Amino acid sequence: MNKYLAELVGTFWLVLGGCGSAVLAAGFPELGIAFVGVSLAFGLTVLTMAFAIGHISGCHLNPAVSIGLWAGGRFDKAELVPYIIAQVIGGVVAGGVLYLIASGADGFSLSGGFASNGYGEHSPGGYSLTAALVCEIVLTAMFLFVIMGATDDRAPAGLAPIAIGLCLTLIHLISIPVTNTSVNPARSTGVAIYVGDWAVGQLWLFWLAPIVGAVIGAKLYKMIAKAN
């Protein structure tokens, strides 16, 4: 149970820290943290939790990461469902806490999206479904490629959390305008269920694309590493 609780707490921190920065801190004129700040917030949640719980659960915090690591031969299939359940619960609890905080401000409304992921009219930059699908697949593939490489036994010891956290920061810098950045079904679910409506209707893409991308990235790294 320690592993599952660690994943729940870690994913809670990722969604609260990352989505919380977008909902609470990004929009203030002149003082808001904007896209760069939100990108750093997501990267820092992974970086801090990797040091805190990496030795307990591996610090996946993401169903796509768990599935990708399984596809890459780094994770036991028997652990997949419990990990994914713990991650989604952590994300949903974080979304609830964030809602309680955010709704304490005058004029709060879920119509702003509540940091949900979307495409078409719900993409921050108005990007199409196809663009969102490609973006999420490719960036999740690269995320898994970096995770697999940084945690390889041949990689420099102790530096994996930094590489993985910075990779997630870069991913957000690229893709916030496209989809608000998911690469993580638990992160997407954790806020979408409070918005309902379009956010839940578009949630399928933010499960499908990250999982497909994760498998591609893990398989690619495994192929390259094996050939080395």
pLDDT in tens, 157-191: 889 999 999 999 999 999 999 999 999 999 999 99
11: number of Cβ within 10 Å: 31
Domains of the chain (ranges plus CATH)? 3-226 (1.20.1080.10)
Q: What is the pLDDT of residues 182-220, one digit of tens each?
A: 999 999 999 999 999 999 999 999 999 999 999 999 999
- Largest Cα–Cα separation, the chain: 58
Q: What is the mean pLDDT of residues 6-21?
A: 97
Give, in degrees to the nearest 5, the angle at Cα 182 between 101 and 14.
45
State the DSSP code for 156.
Answer: P
Lookup: tokens for 33? 């943290």
The phi, psi pair for 72, rounded to 5°, reads: -90, 5
pLDDT of residue 214: 98
pLDDT of residue 228: 67
Residues 205 and 136 sit within 8 Å (Cβ to Cβ): yes
CA distance 52 to 47: 9
CA distance 13 to 87: 11
The phi, psi pair for 203, rounded to 5°, reads: -65, -25
Residue 31's pLDDT band, with cuts at 50, 70 and 90, is confident
Whole-model pTM?
Answer: 0.95
CA distance 68 to 19: 23
Upper half-sphere CA count for residue 72 (Cβ side, 13 Å): 32
